[in-house]
Structure 1
C-alpha cells in the first residue's frame, strides 16, 4: 500500500420530496500492508443504534500502522429509519434487511439496498453486520452464517445456527457470493456500556482471526450453539410488566414460568400472560423493564437448551 490514509464519502441514493439528499456514509481505512477488505455495517434497522457507537469506537481505536488490508465502515445503513428510531423505513414501511439485493427502480428501501450492494457489499472479502434488540429489548447472540470459525471468533457465549435463514438480508447476499459473513445481535434497550465494549472487542478479535491485526486470537469462552429459538410476540397491546429484568439475558429459566403480563392501562384488565415455551429456556432476547407494547412487537426470544449443540 503506497499511502496510509482514511477517507469518508457519502453515497448518493435519492432525494426526499422536500429536496433533501438521502446518502449513505462510508468510511474507508487503508492499512499499511496488503490484506483482505473487511466490511462493517450497523443500523440497518433504525432502532438498533448501538452498532453506530461500536463502529465509532472501532474507527477511533484502529491503528492503520498495524492493519493489513482495508476496513470499510457503514455506521448508519438506513438513515431514514435511524431518524425516526423505527425498525422499518418510515416512507414505505419496508424492512431493509429483507429486500437485498434491492432495486434501483423500486421502493426507497429497495433503492437503499441496491446502493449498499453496489458501493459496499460487492467490494468485500469478509463481512460483519451489527444488530440489536431495538429501542426496548436486549439481545445477545451471534448467527452462524457461512463461516463458523469467524462467528465463534466474535467470542459471544451463544451462537445460532438457523434451519431456515431469513431471505433478503445482507448476510444472505454476501454468503451466496462466498464472502465469510457474521451477523451479530448485541445490546439494545438501555445500550449498556458493557455491550458496546463487547461489540468492539468482538470485531477486533475477528480481525485478528482474519490476520488483519497482529496478536493472538483471544480464545472463545464456553459456547453453545442454538438450533431452536422461539420468537414470542405479544398478541395484545398494553402495559407490559416483565417477570424478569435484563439480567435474565443469557441465563437459563427452568420450567414453565411467567415471562410477562400485559394489562390494559385504562381498565387494569389483564390481557395476556406469556410463559416460557420449553423446559430449559435460554433467554436470548428480553423485555426487561416496564414498557408499552404493541400487538406483534418483538417480545422475547427463547432458545431450547435441550436441542442445543454444546461445544
Structure 2
C-alpha cells in the first residue's frame, strides 16, 4: 500500500490488520527491532481499523510525542467503542504513533532519541523513528482524506485547550482545514504558527492535500477529565463533519485566535526559577510583565522581567518551575 519511488526500499513495517476489510480489527503495526533483550524483537504499535463500505477515511493519531496523553486516552476509548455499523467509510486509529516514546513517557524515542514530529518524510532504512515516519508518509497518509493528530504540551509546556489549522498556500485546502477545526469545537481555535515546521507530520499531510487538524489540549505531562472530554467530543465532531458518523457536529461557543508572527513567542535568555505573572487564558497588553526569572543559586539578585511584545491572550506557558536559556516562556495569541 502507498506509493513507492523507483528504487526505494519497501517499508519494514507490516500491519496485522487489513485496511480494506469491513468490520472492526485491532492489531499492530509491526516493526522489526533487534536489541539486547530480544534479538528478533519487534516494536508493536497498536492500531484499530473500523470500516464499512465505501466512503471517506479518517486517520486519527496520538502519541506523536510520547508524553502527551489526551489523544492516546481518547483514541483508546474510541477504539473500544466504535462499531462498524456506526461508520460510513473507514476510521484508522493509532493511539501512540511513536510507541517507544509513549511507553517510556518521553517526548522522544528512548531507542534513537527521535522526535517523530520532526522526522518526516522518514526513511525505510533509517532509525526506528524514521521508519515509523516513512510508514505514515507512504502508507497511511495516502489512505486518508481527513487527518486528526492530537497534541498537548507534554512535560514542558501547558496550553489553553485549542484545535488548530495552519495558513496554507492552497486557500481551498486551508478553508477545508479551518472548517474541520471549527467542527472539532474546542474552547479555543487557533490559526497556528509553528516555531519549527521542518519534518513535521502536519506538513507531510498538508503537502498531500489532506484536511488536517491538530490540537494542543493542555500539558504538564498529564491529562485532565476536562481535556479528555474535549478530545472525545472533538473526535466525534470531526467524524460527523466528514460524514463518517451520522449527525451534525455538536458545536459550542469558543474563542478564535491567531498567531501572526514570531513576536508571539517569548524566549528565556536566562537560567533560573520561573515566576509566571499571567495565567493561561488571561489577556495581556504589549509591555505587560508576563514572567520573571529569579536567580537559581543566590539571593539579593533582581529578577529578569519578560514583557509581552503584543496585545493578546496568554495561550501557552513554560510548565516546569526551573527554566533554561532558550526555553519558550510564553506564547501570546491575538483574539479574532
TM-score, normalised via structure 1 length: 0.85
Whether 1:231 and 2:237 are equivalent positions in the alignment is no
CA offsets 1:51-94 (integer angstroms, 9 cap, x no match): 21121222233343221121111111112322443323344434
SS of corresponding position for 2:328: coil
SS of match in other structure, 1:105: coil
Counterpart for residue 251 of structure 2: 219
Q: What's the CA shift string for 1:122-152, capped at 9, x where partnerless?
A: 3212110011111142223322244221121
1:105-129 deviations in Å (ceiling 9; x for gaps): 2233222211333442232121100
Residues 15-54 of structure 1 mapped to structure 2, 5 A cutoff = 15-19=34-38, 20-31=41-52, 33-54=53-74
Task: Check if 1:67 corresponds to 2:87.
Answer: yes
1:201 aligns with 2:233: yes
- Quick check: 1:55–1:73 contact (8 Å CA) kept in 2? yes
> SS state of the match for residue 72, structure 1?
strand
Which aligned pairs between 1:132-147 and structure 2 lie closer than 5 A?
132-139=152-159, 140-145=161-166, 146=174, 147=177
Distance 1:85 1:234 in 2: 25
Output one character per residue of 1:181-211: Cα deviation in whole Å (capped at 9) or x when no partner: 1111111125221111111111111111111
> Do the aligned partners of 2:29 and 2:45 also contact (CA within 8 Å) in 1?
yes
Instruction: Please name the residue that 2:27 is paired with.
Output: 8
Q: Which residue of 2 aligns with 1:178?
A: 209
Structure with the largest fraction of strand: 1
Which of 67, 70, 79 is equivalent to 2:99? 79
Give yes or no for the alignment of 1:243 onto 2:277. Answer: yes
Q: Which residue of 2 aligns with 1:291?
A: 321
Conserved in 2, the CA contact under 8 Å of 1:11 and 1:119?
no
Displacement of 1:212 in angstroms is 1.0
Report if the CA contact (8 A) 1:44-1:96 is conserved: yes
Secondary structure of the 1:15 match is coil
Counting only pairs closer than 5 Å after superposition, residues 275-286 of structure 1 correspond to structure 2 as 275-278=307-310, 280-286=311-317
Runs (4 or more) in structure 1 with deviation over 4 Å come to none
Partner Cα distance (1:93, 1:29) in 2: 32
1:152 aligned residue (182, 190, 210) = 182
Match of 1:301 in 2: 331
Deviation at 1:97, TM superposition (A): 1.0
Is the contact between residue 22 and residue 84 of structure 2 (CA under 8 Å) also seen in structure 1?
A: no
Shift of 1:303: 1.3
Evaluate the alpha carbon distance shift between residue 220 and residue 131 of structure 1 in structure 2; reply closer, same or farther with a 3 A threshold: same
User: Unaligned 5+ residue runs, structure 2?
Assistant: 1-19, 167-173
